Chains A and B, each alone.
Chain A
Amino acid sequence: MIQLDNINKVYRTKTIETTALQNINFAVPKGEFLSIMGPSGCGKSTLLNIIGLLDEPSQGTVVIDGTSLKNYHTPATARFRNEKLGFIFQSFHLIPDLSVVDNVELPLLYRKTSTKQRRSLAEAALESVGLKNRMSHFPSQLSGGQKQRVAIARAIVGRPNIILADEPTGNLDSSMGNDVMDILLGLNSENDTTIVMVTHDENMAKRTHKLMRLYDGSQVQ
Chain B
Amino acid sequence: MISNYFKLALRVLGRKKFFTAISLFGISFTLAILMVLVSIMETEVGNTKPLTNKSQMVILTNMNLVKQFYDTIYTMDTLYTDGVVQIDSTFKVEEGGQNNSNNSFSYEYLERNLSEMPSIKNRTFMNPTASFNAYVNGSKVELQVAYTDHNFWEVIDAEFIEGFGYAESIVAQEEPVAVITTALSDQYFGKESGVIGEYLEMDGNNLKIIGVIEPPGVSLLTANIFVPYTMNQTVGRGAEIGFGGYMAIYEAHDPSGVQRVKDDIKFINQSLEVHPSVQDDYNEVILRPYSYYELYANQLLDLDEDDSTGKSLGVLKWIMLALVLLFILLPTLNLINLNVSRILERSSEIGVRKAFGASQSTILGQFVIENIVQTFLGGLIGMGLAFLFIYIINDAKLLGDIILKINLRFFLISFFVILLFGILSGLLPAWRMSKLQIVNALKQTKI
- Decide if A93 touches B352 in the complex (CB within 8 Å): yes
Closest Cβ neighbor of B1 among chain A residues: A109
Which residues of chain B are within 8 angstroms of A65 by Cβ–Cβ distance? none
Which residues of chain A are within 8 angstroms of B358 by Cβ–Cβ distance? 78, 109-110
A107 to B4, CA, bound (A): 13
Interface of B is mostly: helix
Which residues of chain B are within 8 angstroms of A73 by Cβ–Cβ distance? 360
Closest Cβ neighbor of B12 among chain A residues: A97
Which residues of chain A are within 8 angstroms of B11 by Cβ–Cβ distance? 97-98
- Interface positions of B (Cβ within 8 A of A): 1, 3-4, 7-8, 11-12, 15, 348-349, 351-362, 437-439, 442
Pick the contact of A106 from B351, B356, B360 — CB < 8 Å? B356
Closest Cβ neighbor of B352 among chain A residues: A93
A29 to B360, CA, bound (A): 31
Pick the contact of A55 from B1, B356, B362, B439 — CB < 8 Å? B439
Which residues of chain B are within 8 angstroms of A43 by Cβ–Cβ distance? none
Which residues of chain A are within 8 angstroms of B352 by Cβ–Cβ distance? 87, 89, 93, 95, 106
- Decide if A82 touches B357 in the complex (CB within 8 Å): yes
Q: Kindly state whether residue A102 has any CB partner on chain B within 8 Å.
A: yes
- Decide if A154 touches B4 in the complex (CB within 8 Å): no
- Decide if B355 touches A87 in the complex (CB within 8 Å): yes
Which residues of chain B are within 8 angstroms of A210 by Cβ–Cβ distance? none
Closest Cβ neighbor of B9 among chain A residues: A97
- Decide if A89 touches B442 in the complex (CB within 8 Å): yes
Pick the contact of B357 from A55, A95, A105, A110 — CB < 8 Å? A110
- Interface positions of A (Cβ within 8 A of B): 49, 52, 54-55, 73-75, 78-79, 81-83, 87, 89, 93, 95-98, 102, 105-107, 109-111, 115, 154, 158
- Not counting A97-B15, A110-B359, a sample of 5 additional A-B residue pairs whose C-beta atoms are within 8 angstroms of each other reads A54-B355, A79-B359, A95-B352, A97-B8, A98-B7
- Decide if A87 touches B356 in the complex (CB within 8 Å): yes
Given contacts A93-B352, A93-B442, A95-B352, contact A75 B8 (CB under 8 A): no
User: Tally of A-B residue pairs with Cβ under 8 A?
Assistant: 70
A84 to B314, CA, bound (A): 62
Pick the contact of B356 from A75, A96, A154 — CB < 8 Å? A154
3 A-B pairs closest in CB distance: A82-B357, A110-B357, A97-B11
- Decide if B360 touches A110 in the complex (CB within 8 Å): no
| Chain A nearest CB, measured from B156 CB (Å) | 57
Which residues of chain B are within 8 angstroms of A154 by Cβ–Cβ distance? 356
A96 to B8, CA, bound (A): 10
Which residues of chain A are within 8 angstroms of B357 by Cβ–Cβ distance? 78-79, 81-83, 107, 110-111
A197 to B354, CA, bound (A): 20
Closest Cβ neighbor of A89 among chain B residues: B442
- Decide if A106 touches B353 in the complex (CB within 8 Å): yes
Given contacts A82-B357, A97-B15, A154-B356, contact A110 B8 (CB under 8 A): no
- Decide if B349 touches A78 in the complex (CB within 8 Å): no
- Decide if A54 touches B360 in the complex (CB within 8 Å): no
- Decide if A54 touches B356 in the complex (CB within 8 Å): no
A96 to B355, CA, bound (A): 17
Which residues of chain A are within 8 angstroms of B442 by Cβ–Cβ distance? 54, 89, 93
Listed A/B pairs (16) with beta-carbon separation below 8 Å: A55-B439, A73-B360, A74-B359, A79-B357, A79-B359, A82-B356, A97-B8, A98-B11, A106-B352, A106-B356, A107-B356, A109-B1, A109-B4, A109-B358, A110-B362, A154-B356
A98 to B352, CA, bound (A): 13
Closest Cβ neighbor of A86 among chain B residues: B356
Closest Cβ neighbor of A84 among chain B residues: B357
